[in-house]
A and B are shown apart, each in its own frame.
Chain A
């Protein structure tokens, strides 16, 4: 799941640094995630994992780290498309 999240971040987060160098708990906002880019990350996550975020999870803290994103997806029982069918 982390790899799919990283792929979404690489394509949409517009971070100045290397996404692969981020640790799961690193603060994405400190890494340069803007509020505009976080909307694109959200939309791309919904597309990649084929689900919709509920309103309650659409807040800054949901997208503050790779671990936070994973925990939000897990709380929604979202399946990783890269593992589906295995």
Chain B
């Protein structure tokens, strides 16, 4: 494969514009087929790889685009307007890349990060495990080290697009003697990994993420185990980055719905100049919720960027609560915006083949509250609030 990012020096706005173009020209074209067939959005990933966007977060000296999370989040919003599944694959990949960039400070991992950028490798994630009840901060599988190589076998209830990824970042106990909470994050390269499917993926929405369950078996160098405890990777990078990117994606979906509702009302207004269509007031209400959503998402991006500058605030209880709240709020707002849009578009939105069709977006939007269930996040925040002491924040 050729070096995809070598000749590219893109500004943040160019990266976002490129994502918007690929969204219009590629994601939008294949979104219905991806949804109908519950199939991997291969065309979208190929197009994003082609322009180096899979390495957007990787520093320039390692062959990436050296972009900030804010820029990637804006790109995710653009993609989310056209195909929720492809945008989610892109977002999940970026979360893994962020973990590697922030915490993969060994020569072997740096070299791998460079490959991710230069070859456009696609990374997936295996954080949940059969038997741990969805608690990602608990593992039962363990890394077994012999000499300088590791071996890992994990029963993963979900590895989104696992069959299409070039590598999987998997959590496990540090050693066979470690307690469930003493976890590490391991890079499992496809060439040294087997994935045996244990389930199918035929669900209501985000159908193109192909989130099957697998038994993962992998071997590799001990230097492919990230040297930082997973708890730190999770709180400093994986969790806040996930919530920034997911909320940005859901905002893109909401924006697509809002735009359809707006065009619908404007079309109705054109037919009756001088008289406001009955749905115009609903559009005004929708615009208020949509703006609230925008401000929430942009505020989350700013909070993340500020915490990067101030390590003290990045480990504070208030920051953890705020980043959890971002996910809970955004995942409910997306449903609110899409269903308000449906009410405005009426039967034209309910129809499966119309310019105002909202069926796929509605189905996708309900997934947001389930992927890392909001109940679990509320439970975490309930704990954190017991130790939240600062005033007024």
Task: Specify whether A and B are partners.
Answer: yes
Given the interface pairs A35-B137, A55-B317, the reply to whether A29 lies near B387 with Cβ below 8 Å is no
> Is the Cβ of B387 less than 8 Å from the Cβ of A39?
yes
Q: Nearest CB to that of A34 among chain B residues?
A: B181
Interface majority SS (helix, strand, loop, mixed), chain B: loop
Interface residues on A, range: 20 to 34
Residues of A within 8 A of B137 (CB): 34-35
Residues of chain A in range 8-33 having any CB-CB distance to chain B below 8 Å: 15-16, 29-33
Residues of B within 8 A of A15 (CB): 179
> Is the Cβ of B179 less than 8 Å from the Cβ of A16?
yes
Residues of B within 8 A of A56 (CB): 312
Residues of B within 8 A of A54 (CB): 389
> Is the Cβ of A55 less than 8 Å from the Cβ of B180?
no
Min CB–CB distance B91 → chain A (angstroms): 25
> Is the Cβ of B182 less than 8 Å from the Cβ of A30?
yes
> Is the Cβ of B315 less than 8 Å from the Cβ of A31?
no
Residues of A within 8 A of B180 (CB): 32
| Complex Cα spacing A58 to B258, Å | 41
> Is the Cβ of A39 less than 8 Å from the Cβ of B178?
no
Residues of A within 8 A of B235 (CB): 60
Residues of A within 8 A of B371 (CB): none
| Complex Cα spacing A36 to B384, Å | 8
Residues of A within 8 A of B367 (CB): none
| Complex Cα spacing A29 to B138, Å | 12
| Complex Cα spacing A54 to B317, Å | 11
Known: A15-B179, A32-B181, A59-B315. 15 other contacts (CB 8 A): A29-B181, A29-B182, A30-B174, A30-B179, A32-B182, A34-B137, A35-B137, A39-B384, A42-B386, A53-B389, A54-B389, A55-B316, A58-B388, A60-B231, A60-B232
**A3 interfacial by beta-carbon distance below 8 Å:** no
| Complex Cα spacing A58 to B312, Å | 11
A31, A39, A52, A58: the one contacting B179 at CB < 8 Å is A31
Residues of A within 8 A of B387 (CB): 39, 42-43, 53, 58
**B390 interfacial by beta-carbon distance below 8 Å:** yes
